[in-house]
Amino acid sequence: MSENVIAKQLPAVYQRRMLMAHKDKKRNYRSNGNREYKSDVISMMLQIPEYALDVYNAMNDSAYTDPDMIQIMRLENGISLSVRNDASFFISNYLNLYEHQSTYSPNAPLRFLIYLTNLLKTTIRKRDLYSRKRVQIATPHFAVFYNGTEKRPEKEVLKLSDAFINQTDTPEIELTVTVYNINPNNNTQLLEKSEVLRSYMIFVNRVRENLEHQKKIAQNAPEYEEELEVAINEAIDYCVKHHIMEEFFRENRNEVTKSMVLDYTWERREELIRAEEYEDGKREGLEIGRAEGERERDRFLINRWLQKGKTIAEIAEDLGKSEEYVESLM
């Protein structure tokens, strides 16, 4: 499909920006040592048009075959966001925003609202907002793929209005997010339809099984990270051997390993912070790094909590620091 055809699928206000962004659509979305990646493997997968199309088809019972129909959306480098999602793409005048969660959070609607707002700001000219002609926008669709260890329903719907302090039966703004549990034995029909989601489920489950087998989860951070890397690489080897998204895992081994280590480390450090024993551990010298260890630990937590929708004030209170301190580490 040509660039012009893709642009014509979208409302006029998007066409110029979409065509500019689409000029480099032939670039390699796969292995790239200089690519900035989010700490999530599924995010890496969904930056590849073929894989995004696979998930879209499974979600919508469609049968599109041309990955050029997918227009990946990214916010420009100049825009600094504390809230990011894992995949945003256009197809047939629909704007699909997907997110992955390994830790359940009810704040997905608020995160998507913030992200959608910033995304629209980059595609709509301010002067058009006050014109006599109606500004059209692509129809948004929001979904979260959950695969954490906490038991959650197979499928659940989160609403922005549930967060309103004053509840109302007629909210004047609403945003609805569907959360799909993609752990084993959940949403089996969806996983059967999507090779990407199914493969990701198998990979993550394999990592968990390896960690359980090693029985090293409770060890100190350096040893844990070493064992974690072993578990991740064995899972990658397993996927390659059994032709489970073999090309992706073969070409992105280093990025996948770094991404999974970072994600698991964030989760583990957050648990330590929240645990009652943390203060005792801190006094006994359980620190993450030295000298800059506390700042690095806080930086990890700040980024993680921002992604989960916490405000700067809430994070400052949790850390026992000033808001200025939190902002300095963002």
Note the pLDDT tens digit of each residue in 151-177: 999 999 999 999 999 999 999 999 999
- What sign for the dihedral angle of Cα 293, 298, 300, 301? positive
The backbone region for 185, taken as left when phi is positive above 0, alpha when psi lies in -120 to 50, beta otherwise, is left
pLDDT digits (tens, 9 = 90+) for 84-126: 567 899 999 999 999 999 889 999 999 999 999 988 888 888 8
Residue 235 pLDDT level (bands cut at 50, 70, 90): very high
Q: In whole numbers, what is the pLDDT of the chain averaged over residues? A: 79
Supply the pLDDT for residue 16.
44
pTM for this prediction: 0.71
The reported pLDDT for the residue numbered 13 is 42
Average pLDDT over residues 270-281: 55
Instruction: Quickly state the pLDDT bin for 127 (edges 50, 70, 90).
Output: confident
* DSSP state for residue 9 in the 8-state scheme: T
Provide mean pLDDT across the span 234-246: 97
Tokens of 101: 């969660």
Residues 146 and 144: their CA atoms lie apart, in Å, by: 6
> Given the DSSP bridges, would you call strands 87-91 and 94-101 parallel, antiparallel or unpaired?
antiparallel
Residue 158 and residue 106 in contact, taking contact as beta carbons nearer than 8 Å = yes
Cβ-count burial 239-252 (b if 16+ within 10 Å, e if not): bbeeebbeebbeeb
Model confidence at 220: pLDDT above 70: no
Tell me how far apart the alpha carbons of residues 219 and 297 are, in angstroms, rounded to a whole number.
18
Identity at 77, one-letter amino acid code: N
